[in-house]
């Protein structure tokens, strides 16, 4: 992000020079009397600075001489020196700003105008609010002026405006810390709520029972990386996750596709739900029973709370804005990005290398997960090093492409691996690996590292649970899921290979 305090100050100064004390015929929001009261309190009470230092920066003060005084106070604090009238006077003299602030007399006047520091925090928050108002006016005015320029690229202008607003938020709305008493009570309450859950799920379920055993569902505020080589089924896996979460558990899902169009993704979901091959759907060459099968699922498909955005090359700032809106409007519980390397960092900085840009995107996705308190699943490509290795070619964390920051920022890193892709048809014990996909959990910040096996059906690009007779919990949440015993075309409760919802349709004759 190229929005730092130095740039902020320069922009503020130039804005004042251009506009004077008025913007659109109105005086800018300011509170000089409160600024004087706060500065006087800081020089009277050594403990006052600890209260306001997280609230105010030098740029928060409207009057320029007040900015110089606060800078001197902060410098004394950083150097672990005492803060009082005499030390601030001496520090301003060293900085060459003593005369600029009105000399020692002006500092004495500041201390005379306040009786105590009792209300210093309240005064500081008002000053901060006035500063935020001025910054909003500055960013808005710059946007208006540039919008009138025909030479300005409208999309760069949008990104710059959003970046400016985002910078104001980041710098001024920090979250306070909480004491252990509050946090322990919150944790105990969470434990009590979890004890009432019979299925053990504490997050958004994936619909894959063995995987949910390990993760207890995708956890709020977690960044989950799903990585694989091209053709392994990254999109198919995350579409299955999205469909299961939406259809079985009524969790709203935002799916951002940077590679495939929204219609292509819907076609895949329809193929998964109906078990009609995507090739047939693409050509529209369906048998009569397949048309019946399709129409029987239309209402159910339409009710899934999945929201697909296929904006190409979306920036992290656009993504955050769209996710905030979806959270407010539809209370989404899961965000999926397909895939990370196709995103841009935004901000108009073309000089940084790709690794730095990926690092910015990765940090932004983790921040998004924490801000919305939802799991964010981001797909990622792997480097070609996997192909050049001998043996089983199972991916490793070092294979993550373009940046080690992905591994650092992620709470969970999973790899999709299908041995059959590399013509490995049997394991060391001679067991068949055909139609088997592995979800390798290579990093799990809050759990164990395991490998989960799923069934892969290439005809429908579909991952599904392997048969598991000992587990009856998770897949009961969405209805009565049973594998159809009659494959001869008789109606039966549908159990797609993604744990589809209950519905009576004709099964496909294999």
Pair (357, 244) in one structural domain: yes
CATH code where residue 348 lies = 3.40.50.300
* CB burial of residue 315 (10 Å; 0-12, 13-18, 19+): buried
Cα separation, 174 vs 52, in Å, equals 13
pTM over 0.85: no
Pair (150, 44) in one structural domain: yes
Pair (156, 237) in one structural domain: no
Per the annotation, the verdict on 198 as an active-site residue is no
pLDDT of res. 206:
83
pLDDT of res. 347:
55
Instruction: Look up residue 377 and give its two tokens.
Output: 């699943």
Instruction: Look up residue 103 and give its two tokens.
Output: 């000399």
pLDDT of res. 284:
75
pLDDT of res. 53:
81
- pLDDT tens digit sequence for 66-113: 999 999 998 888 777 888 889 999 999 999 989 998 888 888 888 888
pLDDT of res. 321:
76
- pLDDT tens digit sequence for 268-314: 888 877 777 777 777 777 778 878 877 877 777 778 888 888 888 78
CATH code where residue 94 lies = 1.10.860.10
Place of tokens 């925090």: 121
Report residue 345: phi and psi, to 5°: -80, -25
Pair (169, 205) in one structural domain: no
Question: For residue 179, is it within any domain?
Answer: no
Do the Cβ atoms of 305 and 254 come closer than 8 Å? Answer: no
- pLDDT tens digit sequence for 11-33: 555 444 444 455 556 788 999 99
pLDDT of res. 264:
82
Query: How many CA atoms are closer than 13 Å to the CA of 343, on its beta-carbon side?
Result: 32
Beta strands of 351-487 (E only): which ranges? 376-381, 412-417, 436-444, 451-457, 462-465
Pair (143, 207) in one structural domain: no
Domain count, the chain: 2
Pair (215, 291) in one structural domain: yes
| Three-point CA angle 209, 214, 216, nearest 5° | 75
Pair (204, 169) in one structural domain: no
Question: For residue 264, is it within any domain?
Answer: yes
Question: For residue 142, is it within any domain?
Answer: yes
pLDDT of res. 486:
31
pLDDT of res. 482:
35
pLDDT of res. 18:
46
259, 407, 420, 450: the active-site residue: 259
pLDDT of res. 490:
34
Q: Using the 3D structure, point to which of 138, 173, 208 is the last residue of a domain.
A: 173
Low-confidence ranges of the chain (pLDDT < 50): 1-3, 5, 14-20, 468-510
Query: What residues make up the domain containing 398?
Result: 199-464
Do the Cβ atoms of 130 and 98 come closer than 8 Å? Answer: no
């Amino acid at each position: 992000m190229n929005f730092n305090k130095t740039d902020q100050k320069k922009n503020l100064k130039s804005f004042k020079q251009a506009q004077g004390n008025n913007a659109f015929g109105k005086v800018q929001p300011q509170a000089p009397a409160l600024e004087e009261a706060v500065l006087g309190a800081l020089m009277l009470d050594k403990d006052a600075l600890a209260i306001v230092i997280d609230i105010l920066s030098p740029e928060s003060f409207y009057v320029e001489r007040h900015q110089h005084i606060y800078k001197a106070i902060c410098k004394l604090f950083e150097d672990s020196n005492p803060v009082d009238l005499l030390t601030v006077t001496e520090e301003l003299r060293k900085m060459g700003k003593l005369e600029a602030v009105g000399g020692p007399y002006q500092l004495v006047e500041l201390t005379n105008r306040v009786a105590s520091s009792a209300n210093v925090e309240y005064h500081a928050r008002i000053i901060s609010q006035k500063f935020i108002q001025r910054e909003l006016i500055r960013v808005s005015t710059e946007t208006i002026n540039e919008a009138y320029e025909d030479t300005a690229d409208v999309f760069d202008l949008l990104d710059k405006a959003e970046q400016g607003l985002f910078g104001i938020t980041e710098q001024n709305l920090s979250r306070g810390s909480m004491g252990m008493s509050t946090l322990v009570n919150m944790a105990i309450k969470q434990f009590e709520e979890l004890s009432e859950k019979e299925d053990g799920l504490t997050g958004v379920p994936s619909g894959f029972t063995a995987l949910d055993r390990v993760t207890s569902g995708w956890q709020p505020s977690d960044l989950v990386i799903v990585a694989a080589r091209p053709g392994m089924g990254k999109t198919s896996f995350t579409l299955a996750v999205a469909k299961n979460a939406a259809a079985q558990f009524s969790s709203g899902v935002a799916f951002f596709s940077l590679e495939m169009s929204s219609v292509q993704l819907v076609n895949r979901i329809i193929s998964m739900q109906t078990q009609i091959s995507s090739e047939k759907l693409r050509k529209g060459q369906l048998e009569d029973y397949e048309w019946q099968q399709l129409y029987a699922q239309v209402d159910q498909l339409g009710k899934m709370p999945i929201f697909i955005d296929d904006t190409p090359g979306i920036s992290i700032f656009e993504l955050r804005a769209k996710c905030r809106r979806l959270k407010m409007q539809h209370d989404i519980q899961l965000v999926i990005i397909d895939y990370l390397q196709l995103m841009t960092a935004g901000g108009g900085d073309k000089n940084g290398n790709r690794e730095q840009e990926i690092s910015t995107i990765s940090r932004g996705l983790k921040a998004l997960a924490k801000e919305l308190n939802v799991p964010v699943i981001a797909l990622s490509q792997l480097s070609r090093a996997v192909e050049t290795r001998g043996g089983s070619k199972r991916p490793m964390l070092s294979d993550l492409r373009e940046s080690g920051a992905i591994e650092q920022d992620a709470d969970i890193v999973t790899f999709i691996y299908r041995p059959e892709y590399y013509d490995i048809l049997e394991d060391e014990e001679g067991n068949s690996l055909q139609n088997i996909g592995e979800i390798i959990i290579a990093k799990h910040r809050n759990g164990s590292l395991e490998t989960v096996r799923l069934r892969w059906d290439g005809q429908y690009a579909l991952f599904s649970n392997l048969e598991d007779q000992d587990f009856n919990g998770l897949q009961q949440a969405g209805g009565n899921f049973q594998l159809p015993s009659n494959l001869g075309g008789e109606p039966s409760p549908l159990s797609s290979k993604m744990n589809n919802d209950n519905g009576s349709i004709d099964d496909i004759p294999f």
